[in-house]
Amino acid sequence: MSQQLFPTSAQEATPVNAIPLVDLSLQHREVAEEVEAGFAEVLSAGDFIGGKAVSAFEQEYADFADARWCVGVANGTDAIEMALRAAGVGHGDEVVVPANTFIATAEAVVRIGARPVFVDVDDDSLLIDPAAVEAAVGHLTRAVIPVDLYGQVAPFEQLPAHLADHGVTVVEDGAQSQGATRHGRRAGTFGDIAATSFYPGKNLGAYGDAGAVVTNDDLLAERVRLLGAHGSPAKYQHTQFGFNSRLDTLQAVVLRAKLRRLHEWNEQRRLAAAAYDEMLAGTPGLRTPRTLPGNEHVWHLYVVRVGRRDEVLAGLQAEGIGAGVHYPVPVHLTPAMADLGYTRGAFPVSERAADEIVSLPMFPGITRAQQERVVDVLLSTLRAHG
């Protein structure tokens, strides 16, 4: 067969030196043998549901987070919902949620029949604004969900001090902060209960959907476990309404292998973020991310802010730079939340950020040469659209 002399349109559209937003193949190469051996053990034993790898991972992740309990569930959205249900939040209640987050945070609230009450975020960190929480809490408020966004913990200690006195549960959405700390305290241990996601692209990612609930409260942990097993403490005993949301044994194998390397991978992310900070310092028309005092960031995402974002994003992608946007529409303005009655202008910081944010390639193993190319293309694109 003769060699193809002319590339296809797909080949033409992808530059040879393309750089992905996330490269999961690097992580897989590190854990492949360990995962293969773990899979073989599960397959041989037929240990598919609630296998020993699940209980082992739950203990290991609880230890990692300096928490008493970790309960594995099917995904991160279920984790938020189950945390809320375990805390007794339900139909007719209100839950305070930042407008700058992935829709799953609010989606879980709607799924239990409660109402999301959105609040704006701080303009520097884009994390929940504690003053806005103070103003939003009312007599129907049963929970607040601060989100650890982009890899750093929200300022939990600045939340209103009276929340607990009024029966308001604080649920930490820690899907993007695995391994992060605030004032030396690990993500997942703030508030009453926390939810996390092990979606493949997370700092600790499975090979499919997976999630967990983390807490120091024995009763909340017991309730979450019961909820995820059809409300059944023993086979064919159903003491309450529940549903099917369990961590798969094969995913637990993957997560155990990756958890052993998470400290190292997070450190690689920090070094990469410092390199971006250095190369982008003082760039006109660009804001680099800010880490709150007291936070040790794990850089799930490296998010910059620029004017004429869509043109800048198109310029990056045209050169093979896998930049993205997290998230292009604030949750309160999504059609899915239209019934709540929010309109543009309700949360100006979140809305302005949604028009400016660009996530640059960030993953363990990204090279200095790759980052230099990302920055070169970004700077030239900014000059072209300045």
Place of tokens 């002319």: 6
Q: Is 202 a catalytic residue?
A: yes
Cβ within 8 Å of residue 7, ≥6 positions away: none
Q: 294: how many CB neighbours lie within 10 A of its CB?
A: 14
Q: How many angstroms separate the CA atoms of 223 and 242, rounded?
A: 10
Pairing of strands 94-98, 115-119: parallel
Q: How many angstroms separate the CA atoms of 283 and 146, rounded?
A: 31
Contact 108, 125 (CB under 8 A): no
User: CA 308 → CA 58, 304, 352, 381, distances in Å?
Assistant: 45, 13, 12, 11
Q: How many angstroms separate the CA atoms of 200 and 206, rounded?
A: 5
- Return the SS3 of 225: helix
Q: Give backbone dihedrals phi and psi of 214, rounded to 5 degrees, phi first.
A: -125, 135
DSSP 8-state assignment for residue 229: B
CA triple 181-183-185, angle to 5 deg: 50
Contact 259, 125 (CB under 8 A): no
DSSP 8-state assignment for residue 228: T
Q: Give the active site residue among 52, 202, 235, 258.
A: 202
Residues annotated as catalytic are 202
